[in-house]
């Protein structure tokens, strides 16, 4: 998705913020849960189709330059807000902060972190390329060993080829799984049947970006689901 990414970068740097519009500085309010600047923001194109994910600083840069607007769901209804309108909305909501909300403090005001923004002048739909690599396999399997069913930290996991490469097994979504070091060593160069180790689920090519699906497990990103349900992902076949 290089074209979109470069467009977002150019947009946030080429246009200076409007007079009075302040890009939030690196200060987190005490009421913020987990730190607003560490959040991600889903980007829609002009036609309300999900095309990218950016960090909070870039999102506010686009809003301040009037290249994007906030798309917010409240009581089941969606509304669109300019930077100024979103700042006013944040002031109204400041006394009733919800546990899943994130806030950041600017020089002289506090503003809620939006979950979704829409680009006002970008209507293309870049192809979402999903690579077959260690990080995406771990995300697909949820860091759960596909043999013993236990969850591990990433550094304690390895990628196992169901049909070993030494026996012609290929690096494909259908032939690689997340495995703990113990199970991988136990299986060795055998097939699961030969090692008498049953897979807890059949490995398959993901229909959606597994990293984004992990985000959806967090209640604060629940609003993304509306837009990601219709997103198309071109799942690549690069080796791990």
Q: Which residue has the tokens 């012609």?
A: 168
Please say whether the beta carbons of 130 and 136 come within 8 A.
yes
Q: What is the pLDDT of residue 230?
A: 59
The partner residues of 177 in beta bridges, in order of sequence, read 160
Q: What is the pLDDT of residue 229?
A: 67
In sequence order, the 6+-apart residues with CB closer than 8 A to the CB of 39 are 55, 56, 102, 113, 220
Is the overall model pTM greater than 0.85, yes or no? no
CATH 1.10.30.50 location in the chain? 130-195
Q: What is the pLDDT of residue 89?
A: 93
CATH number listed for the domain at residues 130-195: 1.10.30.50
Taken in order 107, 109, 110, 116, the sign of the CA dihedral is negative
Q: What is the pLDDT of residue 214?
A: 76
Whole-number Å distance between alpha carbons of 163 and 212: 28
- Give the three-state DSSP class for 156: helix
Q: What is the pLDDT of residue 27?
A: 35
Q: What is the pLDDT along the chain (240 residues), one digit of tens a residue?
A: 434 444 444 443 444 444 444 444 433 333 333 468 889 999 999 999 888 889 999 999 999 999 999 999 888 788 999 999 999 999 998 888 888 899 998 888 899 999 999 999 998 877 667 889 999 999 999 999 999 999 999 999 999 999 999 999 999 999 999 999 999 999 999 999 999 999 999 999 988 788 787 787 788 998 888 888 656 554 444 556
Cα angle 148, 137, 222 (rounded to 5 degrees) comes to 100
């Amino acid at each position: 998705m290089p074209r979109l990414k470069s467009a977002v970068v150019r947009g946030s740097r080429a246009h200076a913020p409007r007079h009075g519009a302040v890009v939030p500085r690196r200060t987190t309010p005490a009421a913020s849960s987990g730190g607003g600047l560490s959040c991600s923001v889903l980007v829609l194109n002009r036609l309300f189709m999900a095309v990218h994910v950016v960090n909070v600083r870039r999102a506010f840069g686009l809003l301040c330059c009037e290249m994007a607007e906030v798309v917010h769901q409240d009581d089941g209804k969606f509304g669109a807000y300019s930077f100024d309108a979103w700042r006013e909305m944040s002031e109204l909501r400041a006394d009733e902060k919800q546990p899943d909300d994130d806030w950041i403090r600017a020089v002289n005001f506090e503003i809620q972190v939006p979950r979704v923004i829409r680009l006002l002048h970008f209507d293309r739909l870049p192809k979402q390329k999903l690579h077959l690599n260690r990080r995406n396999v771990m995300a697909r399997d949820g860091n759960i060993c596909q043999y013993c069913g236990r969850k591990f930290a990433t550094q304690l996991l390895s990628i196992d080829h169901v049909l070993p490469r030494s026996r012609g097994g290929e690096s494909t979504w259908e032939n690689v799984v997340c495995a703990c070091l113990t199970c991988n060593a136990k299986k060795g160069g055998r097939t699961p049947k030969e090692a008498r180790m049953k897979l807890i689920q059949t490995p398959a090519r993901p229909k959606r970006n597994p990293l984004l699906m992990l985000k959806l497990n967090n209640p604060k990103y629940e609003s993304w689901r509306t837009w990601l349900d219709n997103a198309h992902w071109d799942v690549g076949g690069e080796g791990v």
